[in-house]
Chain A
Amino acid sequence: MKHLISALVENKPGVLAHIAGMFAARAFNIDSLVVGRTEDPKLSRMTIVVVGDDRVVEQVRKQLAKVVPVVKVQDFVGQPIVARDLMLVSVVAPPEKRPEIVSLVEMFRGKVVDIGQKTLMIEVSGPESKIDAFINACKPYGIKSVARTGTIAMPRQAKSSPDAYGRL
């Protein structure tokens, strides 16, 4: 099962190496790892998607918390969250297919961000499942290349609000 783990870490050199090294040394299986700045310049947030049973993920959480520059660790399992991926995808798009592709992009609330001679670059964001669905929908046209950010997430504040597509 996939777990989303969010870690607040000190924003200083070597932190990513400490964390990536720990994952490798303990043979933990990670799906994606995203690092970015937060509102506090001294802290970064890492969002990590880990694959494993509850016991493995429990160890991941504890081992992560043990890494000295890691300030806080949260496992979002069982919590309503919003989780998003951002993707840039370059799709083969000869002029006659473009209207079709553009309407597909609209259905997925994506954006065409660059127009080449034979391709369109499209930006789509959303939960992982939506991104995967968009890739599948584009496959018949031919995909030149894909760049994805990996998942970032935050817990929902209103506990009663619908879970939307936030769950992994």
Chain B
Amino acid sequence: MESKPRAAASTTKTGAQIVVDTLIEEGVDTMFGYIGGVVLPLFDKLYDAPINFIVPRHEQGGCHMADAYARVSGKVGVVVATSGPGACNLVTGLATANMDSIPLVALTGQVRTELIGNDAFQEADTTGITRPVTKYNCIVEDVKDLARTIREAFHIASTGRKGPVLIDLPVDVAVSKYKADGPDEMDLPGYRVRTEGHARQISTAAKAINKSQQPVLYVGGGVISANASKELRALAEKANLPVTMTLLGLGSYDQTKPKSLDMLGMHGSAYANYAVQECDLLIAVGARFDDRVTGKIAAFAPNAKIIHIDIDPASISKNVRVDIPVVGDAKEILRELAKGVEHHERKKWFDKIADWKKKFPFRYDLDSKTIKPQYVIDEICSQTKNKAIVTTGVGQNQMWAAQFYKFTKPRQLISSGGLGTMGFGLPAAIGAQIADPKATVVDIDGDHSFNMTMTELATAVEHNLPIKVCILNNGYMGMVRQWQELFYGKRYSKTYLANPDYADLARALGAIGMTVDKKADVPKTVKEMLAQKKPCVVDFKVDREENVWPMVPSGKSLNEMDGLDILERLI
């Protein structure tokens, strides 16, 4: 197994020093975390380490920051927490990263080895609690295993189907001394990643593409993770294929290009969903046939042969039977695949798609008196020239961001897809801004999502990060309210809570706060917001009962979308 060059470890060091040195060898220059009793030795060594260390106001926030840092930079995010409550507070963040295959290394302190199992103060069974929400985790009980285990954690987190890896470090190991003698190579006999796609499968796939009259490329976050957007574009152009993307795949193909079908699935575009249902060949790349994407699985893409390119063999034929699986790294496979494909015009197919696009674009009422949330996003998209990094909360705000911001580049949309974690938007914006200080970072958030982690505004202020938080304030847990409206007879049970004055709140924390309640003020407020050099929160008082359309109700197939009549009436 390859290992990175490192200085001969000939001096005696404490476990804590080994951690810091190994992190630096792994290229870590930024990390996130929160102190506590059992991580004191580690934080002591971090005191003068050349690492930009960001302290969140809550470990969950720190974990989302590290996650977004990883999503934007392509590097491994690193987060530290103390034992017990600190480690427990990481769980939501780890699960979020795990569902979206984001490379993270989490380091947690643990009570002294001899106390483990005794219900010691601030003891929690951290590896037990986090096992189902990490790619891998372990406890280091001997200082001589420490450096190797950290290197292994980075390797596991950042290869194959990426994901979070947690290392639990008892405090006695952190203070014990060790002098490494000789090399300490990774030892992972059970961890192998197949990156090279099977040549015959690739040529079978190429033939299927060449034969197809009505193909669709269906692209997920795996393409972004594999840095394969360029190769994807090359394939789509050469073979002339329309491209639809999952929420996490958005940005892998430029949405301003005519071949983009935008997002598919429950709140995807009608044209993407129709195209998938009518295609004769579905080419899935780095996507996992999630239920929010497929709708009723038995009726999904009924006429299609399915090619599935994925790094994770276990995702092949997990939900949908696959005809041509290709396991390996998307970048390599797409490059090889492109060599074998021919350009076909497929005029009838593209005409049909163009008809759907014309008939059912994403739409909202342009003439409304109220501020439509979609309008705010439209305005942000045009004023940022499709170039901002956009983070989101969860709910309607997230779906509208996905529908109305047209992404042109990978790593531009940072959103919790798999877990759907409310509260992700603000800490994610902080992590994103730290990863890319020059970028315009806009958090398109929901009022209640924002409520969950708004304490991190203090972190943004402390570091003077010019993030822009746009609260699409409908006063509701809008997405849930929408379901209550549609499926529970408008009984809005517990989806309305009293909100603070967000502009006041922002100012109290040292950020800039603005409120917009007139439609006419939206463009100039967005402009003003984008000009700020400090954290800025804008409370957009949007239409309270706007719904997200189209919508494939749970258990229906993708072509059974609700709301198309509403969209048609808006022409």
**A, B from the same assembly:** yes
Contact residues on B (Cβ < 8 Å of other chain), bracket: 20 to 34
Does B296 belong to the interface (CB within 8 Å)?
Answer: no
Given contacts A62-B314, A71-B190, contact A14 B139 (CB under 8 A): yes
Chain B: minimal CB distance from A121 (Å): 34
A69 partner residues in chain B, CB cutoff 8 A: 190
Interface centre among B188, B190, B313 (most CB of A within 10 A): B190
Bound CA–CA A161/B314 (angstroms)? 34
Which residue on chain A has the smallest CB distance to residue B133?
A25
**Is A65 an interface residue when CB atoms closer than 8 A count as contact?**
yes
Chain A, interface size: which category?
Answer: 20 to 34
Are B317's CB and A71's CB within 8 A?
A: no
CB of B128 closer than 8 Å to a CB of A: yes
In the complex, are the beta carbons of B190 and A68 less than 8 A apart?
yes
Indicate if A123 sits at the interface (CB-CB under 8 A): no
- Shortest CB-to-CB span from A104 to chain B, Å, is 45
Which residues on A sit within 8 Å (CB–CB) of B254? Answer: none
CA distance A10 to B316 in the complex (A): 26
**Chain B stretch 156-188: residues in CB contact (< 8 A) with chain A:** 156, 188
B136 within 8 A of A: yes
Kindly state whether residue B439 has any CB partner on chain A within 8 Å. no
A62 to B156, CA, bound (A): 17
Is A18's CB under 8 angstroms from B131's CB? yes
The residue on A at minimum CB distance from B188 is A68
Q: CB of B138 within 8 A of chain A? A: yes
Q: Determine if A155 is an interface residue (Cβ-Cβ < 8 Å).
A: no
For residue A66, CB closer than 8 A to chain B, the reply is yes
Interface contact B132-A21, CB-CB below 8 Å: yes
Interface residues in A31-45 by Cβ distance below 8 A to B read 42
B191 within 8 A of A: yes
A1-32 CB contacts (< 8 Å) to partner B: 9-10, 13-14, 17-18, 21, 25
B189 within 8 Å of A (CB atoms): yes
CA–CA, A88 to B317, complex, Å? Answer: 42
B568: min CB distance to chain A, Å: 41
Q: How far is the CB of A44 from chain B (nearest CB, A)?
A: 12
B346: interface (CB < 8 Å): no
Contact call B312/A66, Cβ cutoff below 8 A: yes
B370 CB contacts on chain A under 8 angstroms: none
CB-based contact B189/A62 at 8 Å: no
A63 within 8 A of B: yes
Instruction: For A70, give its contact among B138, B190, B316 (CB under 8 Å).
Output: B190
> Which residues 125-155 of B sit at the A interface, judged by CB distance below 8 A?
127-128, 131-132, 135-136, 138-139, 141
Nearest neighbor of B161 in chain A, beta-carbon distance: A66
A62 neighbours in B (Cβ, 8 Å): 313-314, 316
Question: Does A163 sit within 8 A of B, measured CB to CB?
Answer: no
Taking the complex as formed, is A132 at the interface, i.e. its CB lies under 8 A from any CB of chain B? no
Docked Cα-Cα span, A70 to B131, in Å, equals 15
Asked if A146 CB lies within 8 Å of chain B CBs, one says no
Question: Which B residues are in CB contact (< 8 Å) with A66?
Answer: 312-314
Which residues of the other chain, B, contact A149 by a CB distance below 8 angstroms? Answer: none
Q: Are A59 and B190 in contact (CB under 8 A)?
A: no
Are A14 and B138 in contact (CB-based, < 8 A)?
A: yes
Q: Complex: how many Å from CA A55 to CA B316? A: 11
| Docked-complex contact B128 and A17, CB < 8 angstroms | yes
Contact with B along A52-86 (1 / 0, CB 8 A): 00010011001101111111100000000000000
Closest to A55 in B: B317
**Docked-complex contact A58 and B317, CB < 8 angstroms:** yes
A25 closest partner in B (C-beta): B132
Q: Which residue of A lies closest to B152 (CB)?
A: A68
Q: Does B527 contact A (CB under 8 A)?
A: no
A58 to B141 CA separation, bound complex (whole angstroms): 35
Which B residue's beta carbon lies closest to that of A61? B314
Q: Scoring B residues 424 to 464 as 1 if CB is less than 8 Å from chain A, else 0, what string do you get?
A: 00000000000000000000000000000000000000000
Interface string of A94-122 (1 = CB under 8 A from B): 00000000000000000000000000000
B191 with A68: CB separation less than 8 A: yes
Contact in complex: A65, B313 (CB < 8 Å): yes
B135 nearest CB neighbor, chain A only: A68
Q: Tell me if B318 counts as interface (CB < 8 A to partner A).
A: yes
- Excluding A9-B190, A21-B131, A58-B317, 20 further A-B contacts by CB distance (< 8 Å) are A13-B141, A14-B127, A14-B138, A18-B131, A18-B136, A21-B132, A25-B132, A42-B189, A55-B317, A59-B318, A63-B314, A65-B313, A66-B314, A67-B190, A68-B136, A68-B156, A68-B188, A68-B190, A68-B191, A71-B190
Question: Which 9 A-B residue pairings sit nearest by Cβ, starting from the closest?
Answer: A62-B314, A71-B190, A68-B136, A25-B132, A70-B190, A69-B190, A71-B189, A21-B131, A68-B191
Q: What are 17 residue pairs bridging A and B, where the CB atoms are less than 8 Å apart in the complex? A: A10-B190, A13-B141, A14-B127, A14-B138, A17-B128, A18-B136, A42-B189, A58-B317, A59-B318, A62-B314, A63-B314, A66-B312, A66-B313, A68-B135, A68-B188, A71-B189, A72-B190
Interface residues of A (CB under 8 A from B): 9-10, 13-14, 17-18, 21, 25, 42, 55, 58-59, 62-63, 65-72
